[in-house]
Each structure stands twice: as structure tokens, then as C-alpha cells.
Amino acid sequence: MTDRAGNNYDQLVERYLDLESLEVTEMLLELCGATLDQRALPLLKQRLQEEQTQIPRLHAYGYVRLREKSEQLVAALTPLIAALPRTESEEQTR
């Protein structure tokens, strides 16, 4: 695939997964043999920080459902990050 075609394909996959439920995404990952490992930590930690930062703002503006969703994401991301294997350098800094 060319870079442009590959990029378009990646965008289509992202859009599809954004529209699907987590159960469907999980089934797709299982079928494709995908796994999460320490390479995902930077992205997961960034997402966790974004959600944690957003919660007080959503609360201040009275967006109850959006705040609850952010809280659910934080509650799901925190144990996931903790469960992922660490590299030796990360273990030494803990």
C-alpha cells in the first residue's frame, strides 16, 4: 500500500472503531491477534492525563454525563496501565 492509501485506510479504521462499541473492538482485536504491551504506555498515560484534567472543567460547567464518562475512562485506564508490563528502566524509576 502506498503511504497515502495506508493513511486513508488507517483513518477509515479509526472512524469505524469510534462508532463501534467496545465489545466489537475487543472481538476484532482478538481475531487479529493484537495485544497491548509497554509500547502503549505513553499513549495510555497521555489519555489518562487528558481525562483527569478534563473532569474538573466538565464538573464546573455542569456537564454531568460527560464528566461521568471521563470518570469511567479514568477508572478503566488506571488498572490497565498498572497491569501492563514495564521495561527495566521504568521499574527502576518507580
pLDDT of residue 23 exceeding 80: no
Q: Please indicate, yes or no, whether residues 89 and 64 belong to a single structural domain of this protein.
A: yes
Q: What is the mean pLDDT of the chain?
A: 79
Measured at the CA of 81, the angle between CA 30 and CA 85, to 5 degrees, comes to: 75
pLDDT in tens, 25-36: 777 778 877 777
Which domain range does residue 78 map to? 36-94
pLDDT value at residue 16: 63
The pLDDT of 15-23, averaged and rounded, is 65
The pLDDT of 61-75, averaged and rounded, is 91
Q: Please indicate, yes or no, whether residues 69 and 84 belong to a single structural domain of this protein.
A: yes
In the chain, what percentage of residues exceed pLDDT 70? Answer: 77
Q: Which three cell numbers stand for residue 14?
A: 479509526
Beta strand ranges found along 15-61 (DSSP E): none
End-to-end CA distance of the chain: 41
Q: Please indicate, yes or no, whether residues 45 and 14 belong to a single structural domain of this protein.
A: no
The dihedral sign for the CA sequence 67, 72, 73, 74: positive
- DSSP 8-state code for residue 20: S
Angstrom distance (rounded) from CA 66 to CA 57? 10
